Amino acid sequence: MTQPVDPSPRSDAQHRMGRGMIYVAWLLALGLVTWIFSGWLDTQRNPNRHVKSVIEDGMYAVTLERNRYGHYNANGLINGREVEFMLDTGATTVSVPAAVAQRLGLKRGPPVLSSTANGTITTYLTRLASVSVGDITLHNVKANINPHMGGNEVLLGMSFLKHLEFTQRGDTLILKQLPQ
């Protein structure tokens, strides 16, 4: 008696290829979940990626949402180039990390001593041709380049904020540009 012959015998190579395809599918799914989750985390850190402006009482007004850490972060522009700001009313000037200053092509001025929460450090004076948050734009803004700052967030200090009216209500901050 003869055994029936299987018309489609599966070889070891086909089994390995099948397992490989399953591994690739799992890796792609894991990569997709990671990408979605990192985007969600980034939105939690900076909910103001797309800042919108309105005109109120003849002035530009920008409304920012507080992030989950209690800070106001927002995307904006320095000299027409995109940056991320963290509003800091305790900072005397706009403070730019050295790596960001280099990317923006900022010129390092004379060194000055600056008092920070971590002590006294040396920073370098500079001037920013323009600083914008939404449609609020100021020109010739005092700033410093801080070689001790890590990361990419620019501290938006009082050399910019003193020209604005700001009102905090709950988890929102409304910035209005004062007439110059």
pLDDT, tens digit, for every residue of 24-42?
887 877 777 666 555 544 5
Share of the chain above pLDDT 70, in %: 87
* pTM given for the model: 0.74
Report CA torsion sign: 137, 91, 99, 41.
negative
Task: Say if residue 139 is exposed, middle or buried (CB neighbours under 10 Å; 0-12, 13-18, 19+).
Answer: exposed
Q: What is the pairing mode between strands 81-87 and 153-156?
A: parallel
Model pLDDT, residue 5: 57
DSSP-assigned letter for residue 4 = P
